[in-house]
Structure 1
């Protein structure tokens, strides 16, 4: 793995006019928008196509943003640099980069001479069975995968079949076409997950954890209390803690705190919002409480973290 963004998937809408500096207002979320006239579910692009769509949407790839969809980038040649949250990656021929929904992605000023195939798809496009099989990869620390030569040939063969089927819209009924794309994509994703963590068995934690995970994603800006989520979901706090520990090896409170801390770091690094404003955005009543929370988990004040990260 070689450690050393921001795509906008859309059609031909008019360029957006922005009157505010996005860094002063927060990190924009980019929704999945299929090409007009094509079935929704999966977009297959090259890097120039990705950059062109970003410009059409008024959001160049050089600006940080959160795609609300998956991006899988297979590098065929050249070199591709980008940052995902707080990690910088330099992908070369044979590498696969997988960016999950909600991560902050930014590319440098130039995409260079990189030749790559980009797969963009919303969370609901892979089958429910595939979603269960790949779910644990969301918590894996690495996003860049370098298969060995044999597995790379297998992945490229699957990718070639997917690209060919994607261009053959008129050959099948709509239902058969979508199902073919879904099945080919599923095999690629499962293969990538196996390469990322072949021996790591993170259990799903059952329905309680999945519901808790979604609730935290939607509510961490309002509450950091396990009891509040337990009441809203109809579980006991102990049930949520057991389910989270089974899924990730940590308790429910730790999971909430980690999500809050991640958001704080994203806003400190990728925006110019004052720490007091960030504090309010992520659910702290007082900036002093936020500062104490941040120092407890990182050993730094929010201002110190921002300075070091940008340096």
Structure 2
């Protein structure tokens, strides 16, 4: 399990993946009880931004888990998938039993990573397989867990290969359970994927659709059509939602002033940032920070 690194008291704590001794595959499997023994409840309850994936399923009990201001009430049978860069807070693990799988994205081959959409920050955080699929997903997780604990039963290279293949099977199954039954969704097209990735890289540098169109070699209309078809919103709103999410993360969990956050996000002046944030959230940055740290709580997922 990784240890928290505090680069600065002004930043959200970031957690790098640190492989346990003897597990060089970038994959770790444990139970909630094991996590409780390694990390204090106080530390788990604080906001943290891991740079690796978390997959959690419960076999008994329940758990309240917050991901980017949305709380999820987890029950047996459901799967939680927290992706790198998302800010999470653990609830009380004392009643939770199940399996927690941690993995770095480079533990997967590129084809699997693409097919399983592991780098999609807009993918659903929680999915609950229907009975017909639940058994196959559970078997894949159990097989992965057994192989993780069977170090030494195979030559090391074979053990690592087996772990990666078993993780790939589990992720591919989970990725294709996030589509509502009876409503198969088309694969995201290349234009949208390139735009999404460019926004993730450059949202602190520009919020203009025209800049992304120029960068990617498309017209603004092409980006608008692709984003509407794949994400259900305009290209400008897609960019704005990413900027607002990062602003909320920093306001809620960091110690930077609104002026420092404004500069971090690429605004010319703090007043420009305040106006932008207020227009899109209905609250000023300061009011949002006071609310989220006071009486207001995270949105409860239904």
Q: TM-score, normalised by structure 2?
A: 0.83
Partner Cα separation in structure 1 for residue 121 and residue 206 of structure 2: 23
Aligned partner (choices 118, 135, 141) of residue 117 of structure 2: 135
- In the alignment, which of 121, 134, 137 is matched to residue 155 of structure 1? 137
1:222 maps onto 2:205 in alignment: yes
Q: Which one of the candidate residues 77, 86, 104 is aligned to 2:87?
A: 104
Q: Secondary structure at the match of 1:43?
A: strand
1:236 and 1:31, CA in 2 relative to 1: closer, same or farther beyond 3 A?
farther
Name which of 26, 50, 67 aligns with 1:41: 26
Separation in structure 1 between the aligned mates of residue 65 and residue 170 of structure 2, nearest angstrom: 22
- Which residue of structure 1 lines up, in the alignment, with residue 298 of structure 2? none
Return the alpha-carbon distance in structure 2 between the equivalents of residues 128 and 79 of structure 1. Answer: 34
Aligned residue-pair number: 290
Look up the match of 1:32: 17
Q: Does 1:205 align with 2:189?
A: yes
Question: CA-to-partner distance for each residue in 1:254-282, whole Å, 9 max, x for gaps?
Answer: 22211101111112222343322221121
Shift of 1:112: 1.3
Instruction: Indicate conservation of the 8 Å contact 2:55/2:101, yes or no.
Output: yes
Instruction: Look up the match of 1:276.
Output: 259
SS of the counterpart of 1:213? helix
1:169 aligns with 2:154: no
Looking at structure 1, the residues matched to 33 and 250 of structure 2 have their Cα atoms a distance apart, in angstroms, of 28
Structure 1 residue ranges without an equivalent (≥5): 1-8
Cα distance in 2 for partners of 1:247, 1:134 equals 17
Equivalent runs, 1:73-152 vs 2, <5 Å: 73-108=56-91, 110-135=92-117, 138-140=121-123, 142-152=124-134
Give the CA deviation at 1:115.
1.3
Structure 2 unaligned regions, length at least 5:
296-302
Shift in Å at residue 158 of structure 1?
A: 1.6
- TM-score, normalised to structure 1, is 0.81
* Residue 248 of structure 1, CA deviation: 2.1
Alpha-carbon offset, residue 70 of structure 1: 1.0
Kept in 1: contact 2:192–2:230 (CA 8 A)? yes
- String of CA shifts for 1:101-137, please: whole Å, max 9, x gaps: 11111113x4213212111112232333332333286
Alignment match of 2:276 (pick from 293, 300, 303): 293
Paired with 2:157 and 2:48, the residues of 1 have a C-alpha distance of: 33
CA 1:240–1:19: 2 relative to 1, 3 Å: closer
Between 1:170-179 and 1:77-86, the stretch displaced more is: 170-179
* Root-mean-square deviation over aligned CA pairs: 2.8
- Per the TM alignment, residue 246 of structure 1 is displaced from its structure 2 partner at its CA by 4.4
Match of 1:63 in 2: 46
In the alignment, is the contact (CA less than 8 A) between 2:31 and 2:97 conserved in 1?
yes
Name the residue aligned to 2:299. none
Which deviations, in whole Å up to 9, do the C-alpha atoms of 1:75-100 show, x marking residues without a partner? 11122222111111222222221111
On the 8 A contact 2:54/2:81 being kept in 1, the answer is: yes
For residues 78 and 213 of structure 2, the distance between their equivalents in structure 1, rounded to whole angstroms, comes to: 41
